[in-house]
Chains A and B, each alone.
Chain A
Amino acid sequence: MGIVDIEGLGKSFEPGSYALKNVSFSLSRGQILGILGPNGAGKTTLIHLILGLILPTEGNIRVFGELLSPATRTGILKRMNFASNYVFLPQTLTLWENLMVYAIMYEVSEPARRCSEALRMFGLYEMRHKRARTLSSGQMMRLCLAKAMINTPEVLLLDEPTAGLDPEIARRTRRLLVELSRGKGLSVIYTSHNLWEMQEVSDRVLFLKGGKALLEGPSGELIGRYEVKNLEELFFKVLESGR
């Protein structure tokens, strides 16, 4: 049993059409799973389902061995966190205040120390008393990533986290994720359109198209099996063949 187990997961927003259909995978402790797919493939829907923001039409989600349900959701969320390129933090508050609010919300012990650590992790500590509205979009994304690390999560869900980051910060973020997964056992589920980035950080990848899982497995193994040089080639090969 993995730390996140998805079994036959499906979501339909309208009768007769599926945003996600029969998706299954298992993520172990310390693994990074990259979710790939074109726009509308169901990547963000999958993340929202694991967060319990939307309810599945079919299938099960188990996190930390517990079935995700309204009764277990709060306990599970306490050990997870999330950041997205499309979700911000209040811009009137300072960086410090934003993190302090979430540190208290996640019941972090020694919240002030943890806020400092999280801000340092993403190179924002010197700016801690600035209002979030003065940040560039890349800096805002770093603040969201700092918020995502505030409770030292065991599972981290990231929706296009490096989309607005400059190459240097994006590389540092990827390295940090790999370091945390290898060193601290952090499990990450990660969506991105950057296939090179995916190849660099992901232990496993899941290809989605039209809500269906076309492929799932360790990146290296899939590249070998399909006789391609990298994930980008694999991506286009899979898209063209439909499988």
Chain B
Amino acid sequence: MRPRHIAALCLRQIYLYRRSLTRLLETFYWPTMDLLLWGFVTLYLQRSSFGRMPVFVSYFIGALILWDVLFRAEQGISVSFLEDMWSRNLINVFVAPVTVTEYLAALMAISAIKVVAAFAVTSSLGWLLYSFSIFKLGIYLLPLVLNLVAMGWSIGILTTALILRYGLEAEILAWALAFLFLPFSAVFYPVKVLPRALRTVAMFIPASHAFEGMRAVISSGAFPPAQFEYACGLNIVYILAAIWFFMRVYKKALVSGIIPKIGE
């Protein structure tokens, strides 16, 4: 693994975002809109409940900020790959002396940079608009965020592999696939709300453990270690599976000749 190769691929994205106002806006626009819309809806619901839901705003705003972490982590990988396809630069990257492992590592590094930037904006907005500080989760914030980033990476690598396999017709997955997990990830409601069958599904989604953990920290101040361990275990399995799947698709792409087709 050569750090300079990874640095070059990250630099390409940094230059891109520095020079593209629309891309910068895209990164911050949707989370800001979500926070404004759903934040005020939540505020209204809490006020209408006459104090029966004292931590409702915290649950909801915290969930919005953390869901955005997962979504940005996923997009940091899949959209960065798409950028090379859209600009017809993919072949240049694939014929440079960069290994596939380095390429994936660079996508993860780019994703981490994007997550940090978007998180800074959404957490500041949460504090400014609703006096909600995500940092009140304290030391537990880190394992929550890391688990959500890891799940975002798994989905991002899976999406990228599917785009590599099916070409630009699969690009919609970069926006859609993460949302497939949203209803079962217990982002805005606890797992117990789900029907029994879907509770089983939720058990296998790392994000559901992270969001249950978040609610536990907000309501009781304690983080359930079992949830954390479960989320970590699942994430390790899913990331390894996603990388394995990507490698398999890449090897098949070398045989089928799809890289020049999608790259030109």
Q: Name A's B-contacting residues (CB within 8 A).
A: 11, 13, 44-45, 48, 51-55, 74-75, 77-78, 80-82, 84, 86-94, 97, 100-102, 104-107, 131, 147
Q: A88-B87, A100-B11, A105-B97 are in contact. Are A44 and B260 (CB under 8 A)?
A: yes
CB atoms of B257 and A13 under 8 A apart: yes
Nearest-CB distance from B101 to chain A (Å)?
10
CB atoms of A53 and B92 under 8 A apart: no
Could you say which residues of chain A place their CB within 8 Å of the CB of B200? none
Of all A-B residue pairs in the complex, the 10 with the closest CB atoms, nearest first, are A104-B8, A105-B8, A78-B97, A90-B87, A88-B88, A77-B97, A86-B264, A54-B257, A97-B15, A101-B12
Interface size on B, residues (CB 8 A): 34
Asked if B83 lies at the interface with its beta carbon under 8 angstroms from chain A, I say: yes
Could you say which residues of chain A place their CB within 8 Å of the CB of B15? 90, 92-94, 97, 101
Nearest-CB distance from A117 to chain B (Å)?
18
Q: A54-B254, A55-B255, A107-B4 are in contact. Are A102 and B92 (CB under 8 A)?
A: yes
Nearest-CB distance from B261 to chain A (Å)?
10
Nearest-CB distance from B16 to chain A (Å)?
5
CB atoms of B92 and A48 under 8 A apart: no
A106 to B4, CA, bound (A): 9
CB atoms of A53 and B4 under 8 A apart: no
CB atoms of A53 and B254 under 8 A apart: yes
CB atoms of A53 and B95 under 8 A apart: yes
In residues 69-98 of chain B, which contact A (Cβ within 8 Å)? Answer: 83-84, 87-89, 91-98
Could you say which residues of chain A place their CB within 8 Å of the CB of B95? 51-53, 77, 80-82
Contact with A along B1-13 (1 / 0, CB 8 A): 0101101110110
A81 to B92, CA, bound (A): 9
In residues 243-264 of chain B, which contact A (Cβ within 8 Å)? Answer: 254-257, 259-260, 263-264
A54 to B250, CA, bound (A): 10
Selected from A53, A100, A131, the residue in CB contact (under 8 A) with B94 is A53
CB atoms of B20 and A92 under 8 A apart: yes
CB atoms of A90 and B97 under 8 A apart: no
CB atoms of A89 and B89 under 8 A apart: yes
Q: Name B's A-contacting residues (CB within 8 A).
A: 2, 4-5, 7-9, 11-12, 15-16, 19-20, 83-84, 87-89, 91-99, 254-257, 259-260, 263-264
A92 to B259, CA, bound (A): 22
Q: A78-B97, A92-B19 are in contact. Are A55 and B92 (CB under 8 A)?
A: no
Could you say which residues of chain A place their CB within 8 Å of the CB of B97? 74-75, 77-78, 105-107
A45 to B99, CA, bound (A): 21
A94 to B19, CA, bound (A): 9
A105 to B259, CA, bound (A): 20
A87 to B15, CA, bound (A): 20
A94 to B20, CA, bound (A): 12
Could you say which residues of chain B place their CB within 8 Å of the CB of A90? 12, 15-16, 83-84, 87, 89
CB atoms of A77 and B263 under 8 A apart: no
Could you say which residues of chain B place their CB within 8 Å of the CB of A87? 88-89, 91-92, 263-264
Could you say which residues of chain B place their CB within 8 Å of the CB of A74? 97-99
Nearest-CB distance from A145 to chain B (Å)?
12
Beyond the given A82-B95, A90-B84, A104-B11, please list 12 additional residue pairs across the A-B interface where CB-CB is below 8 A: A11-B257, A48-B257, A53-B94, A54-B259, A75-B97, A86-B88, A90-B83, A97-B15, A102-B8, A104-B8, A105-B97, A107-B4
